[in-house]
Structure 1
């Protein structure tokens, strides 16, 4: 059997210490006492020194190594040991311990991230199945009613076909929005960036949503009269989609007889900050961090009554981030909400 490395280390180290001590002791007795020691005394001295040295060194080395290795083992016991082969092993135990602790910390963070993603995936699948199921069952219900004889009544048949068509339109909207988000996430959406007047674009969106605003008697306003154009750089169609989503949300969830105010201002780093503010119910703080998640709804029942795919804010966030810009939200319950985003300011040469 092979001798344990710690015993081998203790053996040779004790031998060296014993030899050194014996030499010093012998020379001291010769020069200071002027006499030679008996061989029996020398052997007893050697045995005592060697035994004490061996057991002390063996005990201390094993204890030291075991403590350090146990700490390292505890850090990596739940990890894949094969990953440790990717980096060189240091002979310095302190350095090795630091490296393994950092390695373990990184792996544990990766595990936490994977668990969060798994929770998000599970929730997302539940949400999308619910979103698709609702209009599918609606369409199926109307079609089955028509099949059972309602189609013979022209008035009822026409009404039910319109309702079924509305359910199909919602399904199409969900699929289109999912396809858009997929393209945005995979960077397959080619942005056609150009310079355009953001003030004019806001006015165009106001005109587009005028009928919707009138249904709730919501006034669409700019915060002031803009005498000169404010030129920005971006994909005008996608930014129009962002403004439409944000302003439409302010109409849906703002106060009846309220107002939606859009403002634009220059900020640092040659950016323009566009704000969409309403005086509606606002959003509770616990919901703000999740507003941009797919299908996340602050008020489940009311949100579905208002229609939409539940993907609007998620699409808004992806479009803004595809422009390498930022989006922000401020809201207080019962005091309204403010969504804002940045765009690069165009400066003529």
Structure 2
């Protein structure tokens, strides 16, 4: 429709111009109308032919090519796709949509490149710190410290061993998260009582909590079984990592509270601490590998920096969700869902 209108306007403009010029010389309205009709008709046919052959058909071809590219087709594929009667408007809309998609792809690639650089920088730092420490201790021992100061040599050996343990722990976590991402570690579903598992994990971490002067709280109301369908050992690992994280960043004489809520078809588990909290700008990145909200303190606390990333992968492998909410200076809550086992009738 727009095509015909465009041809009509152009033909009428040309015809009117020629008719006005003829009227100027002839001073006759009859000649004016005849000239207008003839010149308009000739111009309309000429413009229609030119526009159809050199513009309209080309635009149709461009539209179909863009459409095929968006569908991932080969450029040599048959151009038999449906299109509307207004290809000019279609092409405009297609180009806009295509530009938006390409911009999203470029932004995604830039974000991935930024993440890759940060990941390489972080993993390089994580490996260099214990390696340089081990190298320093071994160099000192090789220079004769064993004979000169046996007591100091023993301390150096112990510190070197601790850094080796840190390296081993880091490599183990890297291997595990790699397998989780690639799906090499299967999820073994089974029915089990979540309340019992929480109590087992709390009991196993009680000594560590005492060393941080933090109390683990699991209210007395959780006495009845809460049956869920999940991989028991993987969920144990999730709970251990989340509670361990709360102990690292909790405040002295504080508490870590574990709560369970029944939803419609899922069970919601929350692990809450009253520690330093997380800045709002850092919340979207807490599950990234090696991302630390407080790098200076995190280095002193230790850990591989992969705990929360592993937690996220385990929960997502269960096709469930995990999220975090936090208020700086007040504390942090990690919450995840599990599939609830429906009671048998």
TM exceeding 0.5: yes
2:141, 2:78 → 1: CA distance? 69
* Residue-by-residue CA offset, 1:114-158 (whole Å, 9 max, x unaligned): 222122111111111111111111111111111111122321111
CA contact (8 A) 1:89 1:96 kept: no
In the alignment, is the contact (CA less than 8 A) between 1:142 and 1:160 conserved in 2?
yes
Matched, 1:293 2:288: yes
Partner of 2:115: 120
Counting matched residue pairs gives 305
Aligned to 2:272: 277
Pick closer, same or farther for the CA change 1:300–1:46 going to 2, 3 Å. closer
Shift of 1:291: 0.2
Do the aligned residues in 2 keep the contact of 1:72 with 1:101 (CA within 8 Å)? no
Structure-2 separation of matches of 1:299 and 1:342? 27
Find the structure with the greater CA-based Rg: 1
| Change in CA separation of 1:339 and 1:55 when aligned onto 2, cut-off 3 Å | same
Structure-2 separation of matches of 1:87 and 1:256:
71
- Distance (Å, rounded) in 2 between the aligned partners of 1:277 and 1:48: 84
How much has 1:53 moved relative to structure 2? 4.2
Q: Deviations over 1:255-304 (max 9, x none)?
A: 100000101110122x1111101111111100000000000000001011
Decide whether aligned partners of structure 1 residues 55 and 87 sit closer, same or farther in structure 2, where only a CA change above 3 A counts: closer
User: Which deviations, in whole Å up to 9, do the C-alpha atoms of 1:2-31 show, x marking residues without a partner?
Assistant: xxxxxxxx9xxx9xxxxxxxxxxxxxxxxx
Matched with 1:106 is 101
> How many angstroms does 1:188 deviate by?
0.8
Is there any run of 5+ residues in structure 1 with no aligned partner, and where? 1-9, 15-43
- Write the distance in 2 (CA, Å) between the matches of 1:219 and 1:272: 24
- Give the 3 Å change call, closer, same or farther, for CA 138–45 of structure 1 in structure 2: closer
- TM-score between both structures, scaled by the size of structure 1: 0.77
Is it true that 1:166 corresponds to 2:157 in the alignment? no
Q: 1:225 to 1:57 in 2, by over 3 A?
A: closer
1:305 to 300, 308, 314: 300
Counterpart in 2 of 1:18? none
Select the residue among 139, 151, 154 that pairs with 2:134: 139
| Change in CA separation of 1:197 and 1:50 when aligned onto 2, cut-off 3 Å | closer
Aligned alpha-carbon RMSD (Å): 3.3
Q: What TM-score comes out, normalization by structure 2 length?
A: 0.78
Question: Is 1:317 aligned to 2:302, yes or no?
Answer: no
Cα deviation for residue 84 of structure 1 reads 4.9
Partner of 1:195: 191
Segment of structure 1 superposing worse, 53-62 or 242-251: 53-62
Q: Establish whether residue 88 from structure 1 lines up as the match of residue 83 from structure 2.
A: no
Contact 2:133 2:163 survives alignment (8 Å): yes
For the structure 1 residues 58 and 149, does the alpha-carbon distance in structure 2 shift closer, same or farther, using more than 3 Å as the test?
same
Question: Is 2:250–2:273's contact at 8 Å kept on the other side of the alignment?
Answer: yes
The residue that corresponds to 2:233 in the other structure is: 237
- Contact 2:63–2:94 (CA under 8 A) maintained in structure 1: no
